[in-house]
Structure 1
């Protein structure tokens, strides 16, 4: 049935009320658990003194978030401000050479932060993959690119390369592996796009301009080479109506999100609590479910803020970067699940869509998903937890298609055709609610721990059955209906915009 199917307003109102009450109830349990555990010895490393205005300690279990906005805040602001300043001057004076300025500034920033040896390692990989691209053989580009990626993700090669980089600071490993991994993905995109080019090949200078664009270098997102090259080569730099206003609004929203997260961590210790399974096991089923869900929401917020800040700078440079990831709250379909839209777009273009084509054939889809998650496993770094995560998510993506194909057969297709569109939407939402929790449980094991994921699964499906299981499923069903309503409204607005453009 169509996405524009409408439900009665009183029904949607009831769903909204039910979800609101459930969130408040679950959140109150997490708040009480956080308050009671503030001084526990087991949480000593994860809970530190926070803002004195609140008189409470703060959850600091995520060292990356803490480092970004405390120790390295000034360095990050200084580096990105310099990029914006030089980029603006260049865009106003010699816009045709702005990509060169971006590259030079990026090279100097990498040199200053990570040292000459690291820069040489990155350049050597760029040179290797550029040389491979000259052959214009796609399979060779894939093999060489994945081998280079493995050299940063698989022992002993990763330790051997990182051993050349001297010095030690808190974010060194994050910057080393982040910059290296994204470099390989960009170089592979360059090589694959060069292979498809009918006449000639892009120069190594184009590759360096692409790779050393500082906002994308260490943390992404990945723009495919064809998009970046086309956008950065534009000489006529014009902004759309209200574009600067939107950029300022988004910048303020990101600052607000950073402050909101810090305030939130003073009252809800969602990252530290799961580290003590004995303590977490005392929580109610609702609080435990809320804790698992909130961990995924936080990871989305973290990604949205990081990519949002980077995207804001990229937009100031007249680029159209990949959007931040879709909120986990809006996901009830495995095919739309991702935490990095840039990597997701890269995988879809060069692996998933390339093999799966229109994704209607079950066998092609199986091969496409296995290949996609194999590359993703290598990208994340092969280890036991990543293997488990990949297997479960690969299964979820395929199982989703199998169920869809199964219910397209007779007599289910006839049954759905006979029922009303609203009833079809309700039935689909029931399955969507189950899918939602499958997505949560399959991903929480990677974001938190396998033990915590097993505990949540056991409590929700076994210990809590049938009361907690069915009640949480119902609340999730209500949430999925609200998501579907939002999708319906967006679809109608998009249709109106399309009609307005035609007229």
Structure 2
């Protein structure tokens, strides 16, 4: 199944219904879709607060003139990325043009040098000499410090360096003042340093495994860390995957490859402009700065806000990761696909597996598997704990990030316990004795619904901060009426049914191909 943004799941589910011919599945699909549509509509009605709003913090611009409505531009990451892309367009075409010439006429070391040069040139243009030097020195310094040490010592150094990066991220701090950067430049540089750090860890761990400590390896590391299509915002490509990609025999651009590139670019540009269009009507980001308004939303409008926060976050990364992957494909560099739609995923494990797939593979390869192997019966639990501890440190140790990471760890732990019980012979025997296959599916979806609620609320802390997350927790879970909770869990149950149908359909499609 193609990984499309939220609203495309309707097309996929239509195919599922034809395949299964199951009226119960039709009902769950329609109920879940109607719940999403109605909640978003209720949230849309709450936007009248901003009709005569005094915009002291530039949360809005005039928007597209043909619409005649202002546009929500208050999401810093989205705004900074759009500004970055506008300046990057010409450089990225130069990058790919000379990459193809070098691949035809020279070797991989020259290609890696070009990757370093093209990225450094853009960094110099965009954030100046000091900013470019920071991006170059970071992987170089980490290489010098860590390349002679064991994995455990290297990990200690890398984690310590992350704390340094988060000190440098402080707005209007010493680092920003020293560089003389505005907020956008400072944000882009520190974001780039966080991504470079993940790549430095990947290179370091793979090099220790392969015992590669030569100068060619260092050049490849710099090329990998500074690779222009993924430099600023991912997705994360593991080091060994990057090396395998650039070591493949050169493939000339042909009509089919260019056609695929153009179609994918059109696809992701459509989602970019579609997201921008929606921001003229649904002020999902600006309202997060006004918790007093969120506090007064009725339950359905609150559900709509929660869904829209998740949908906007999804659309953002479908566009960012999708365009980056499209550009990587021109270089024959294999990048992870963009995330799957949140409206068709109900399990914590699936959300982590299918949203940021590069980060997921990083956590599994470098933390989860090594820790699990060496820690006996509690290895899985401890490995999961360390994965989420690293996620917390990498994103930044803040209250909302801590709550999000903690809820995710608890959710994964509960899910793992459930899976272990489900694999036991006694459970299988009792299940098959008392429940039909349809009732087994219903029972599992009932059990998954509370976990889905916890997953959603943990994400609201991540998206909107502790105040917004607390409003959802108090107004819905702690102080919501029984009627409100029943309606919520019923529709979450429908979501679980839809998600299971999608997974079953995907498995059947894979088995046929």
Aligned match for 2:69, one of 39, 53, 56: 56
The answer as to whether partners of 2:99 and 2:114 remain within 8 angstroms in 1 is yes
TM-score of the superposition, structure 1-length normalised? 0.89
Q: Hey, what does 1:19 align to over in structure 2? A: 32
The answer as to whether partners of 2:368 and 2:387 remain within 8 angstroms in 1 is yes
**Match of 2:179, SS?**
coil
Q: How far apart in 1 are the matches of 2:170 and 2:439?
A: 56
Q: How far apart in 2 are the matches of 1:156 and 1:37?
A: 31
Q: Hey, what does 2:337 align to over in structure 1? A: 323
Q: How far apart in 1 are the matches of 2:104 and 2:141?
A: 35
**Match of 1:325, SS?**
coil
Which range is displaced more, 457-466 or 365-374? 457-466
Q: 1:472 to 1:384 in 2, by over 3 A?
A: closer
Instruction: Map 1:302-451 to 2 at 5 A.
Output: 302-338=316-352, 339-357=355-373, 363-406=378-421, 412-418=427-433, 419-451=435-467
Q: Hey, what does 2:6 align to over in structure 1? A: none
Gaps of 5+ in 2: 1-15
The answer as to whether partners of 2:445 and 2:496 remain within 8 angstroms in 1 is yes
Q: Hey, what does 1:224 align to over in structure 2? A: 238
Q: Hey, what does 1:261 align to over in structure 2? A: 275
* Post-superposition CA distance 1:345-379 (Å, at most 9, x none): 211210122223599x7621221122112211221
Q: Hey, what does 2:89 align to over in structure 1? A: 77
TM-score of the superposition, structure 2-length normalised? 0.87
Which range is displaced more, 263-272 or 321-330? 321-330
The answer as to whether partners of 1:29 and 1:287 remain within 8 angstroms in 2 is yes
**Match of 1:430, SS?**
helix
Q: Hey, what does 1:501 align to over in structure 2? A: none
Q: 1:137 to 1:68 in 2, by over 3 A?
A: closer
Q: How far apart in 2 are the matches of 1:95 and 1:39?
A: 61
**Match of 1:337, SS?**
helix
Instruction: Map 1:85-484 to 2 at 5 A.
Output: 85-94=97-106, 96=108, 97-135=110-148, 137-154=150-167, 162-163=175-176, 166-198=179-211, 201=214, 203-237=217-251, 242-338=256-352, 339-357=355-373, 363-406=378-421, 412-418=427-433, 419-484=435-500
Q: By how many angstroms is 1:294 displaced?
A: 1.4
Q: How far apart in 1 are the matches of 2:170 and 2:288?
A: 33
Q: By how many angstroms is 1:449 displaced?
A: 1.9
Q: 1:34 to 1:376 in 2, by over 3 A?
A: same
Q: How far apart in 2 are the matches of 1:315 and 1:120?
A: 28
The answer as to whether partners of 2:169 and 2:190 remain within 8 angstroms in 1 is no
* Post-superposition CA distance 1:276-329 (Å, at most 9, x none): 233223322122112112101211111111111111111111111122223222
Q: How far apart in 2 are the matches of 1:292 and 1:270?
A: 9
Q: How far apart in 2 are the matches of 1:158 and 1:124?
A: 22
Which range is displaced more, 294-303 or 379-388? 379-388
Q: 1:462 to 1:144 in 2, by over 3 A?
A: closer
Compute the RMSD of aligned alpha carbons: 2.9
Q: Which has the higher helix share?
A: 2
Q: How far apart in 2 are the matches of 1:160 and 1:276?
A: 26
Which range is displaced more, 229-238 or 477-486? 229-238
* Post-superposition CA distance 1:46-98 (Å, at most 9, x none): 333211211212212213323433x4443122232222232233334446443
Q: 1:358 to 1:236 in 2, by over 3 A?
A: farther
Q: How far apart in 1 are the matches of 2:270 and 2:93?
A: 19
**Match of 1:470, SS?**
helix
**Match of 2:338, SS?**
coil
The answer as to whether partners of 2:163 and 2:393 remain within 8 angstroms in 1 is yes
* Post-superposition CA distance 1:7-26 (Å, at most 9, x none): 65211111122122222221
Gaps of 5+ in 1: 498-503
Q: How far apart in 2 are the matches of 1:128 and 1:27?
A: 49
The answer as to whether partners of 2:140 and 2:222 remain within 8 angstroms in 1 is no
Q: By how many angstroms is 1:155 displaced?
A: 6.8
Which range is displaced more, 159-168 or 139-148? 159-168
The answer as to whether partners of 1:152 and 1:161 remain within 8 angstroms in 2 is no
**Match of 2:297, SS?**
coil
Q: How far apart in 2 are the matches of 1:52 and 1:81?
A: 30
* Post-superposition CA distance 1:125-180 (Å, at most 9, x none): 32333234542521122122222222212479999883585232342122221221
Q: How far apart in 2 are the matches of 1:375 and 1:358?
A: 18
Q: By how many angstroms is 1:423 displaced?
A: 1.4
The answer as to whether partners of 1:118 and 1:164 remain within 8 angstroms in 2 is no
Q: How far apart in 2 are the matches of 1:435 and 1:365?
A: 19
Q: 1:316 to 1:39 in 2, by over 3 A?
A: same
Q: 1:387 to 1:281 in 2, by over 3 A?
A: closer
Which range is displaced more, 83-92 or 237-246? 237-246
